[in-house]
Amino acid sequence: MALLTMSEIRGMSSEERERRLADYRAELAKQRASMMSGAGMENPGVIKGIRKNIARLLTVINEERRAAEAVGGGE
């Protein structure tokens, strides 16, 4: 899995971000399960990359939510 850049993530629609987030979380669960089962991983850095992608997606999603709250609920 390639690392996503912040500009790529910001260029996505919110639905695309949510879908990618679900995909990465499922992939992380699959990788962790295979690691715990004792199967050797080809590249142990994959989990780190997936976690970084999840963090980047969550960062942009939370930035959007905070911006929407600031505009909508600025009392």
Q: Hey, where are the domains in the chain?
A: 13-72
Name the CATH architecture for the domain at 13-72.
Orthogonal Bundle (1.10)
**Cα angle for residues 65, 67, 71 (degrees, 5° grid):** 115
Determine which helix (DSSP H) or strand (DSSP E) holds 19, and give its type and residue range: helix 14-36
Residue 14 φ/ψ, nearest 5 degrees = -65, -35
For residue 23, give the amino acid letter.
Answer: D
Tens-place pLDDT, residues 15-25 = 999 999 999 99
pTM of the shown model: 0.86
- Average per-residue pLDDT for the chain: 90
Are the beta carbons of 57 and 7 closer than 8 angstroms?
A: no
pLDDT band at 41 (very low <50, low <70, confident <90, very high): low
Lookup: tokens for 61 = 């999603």
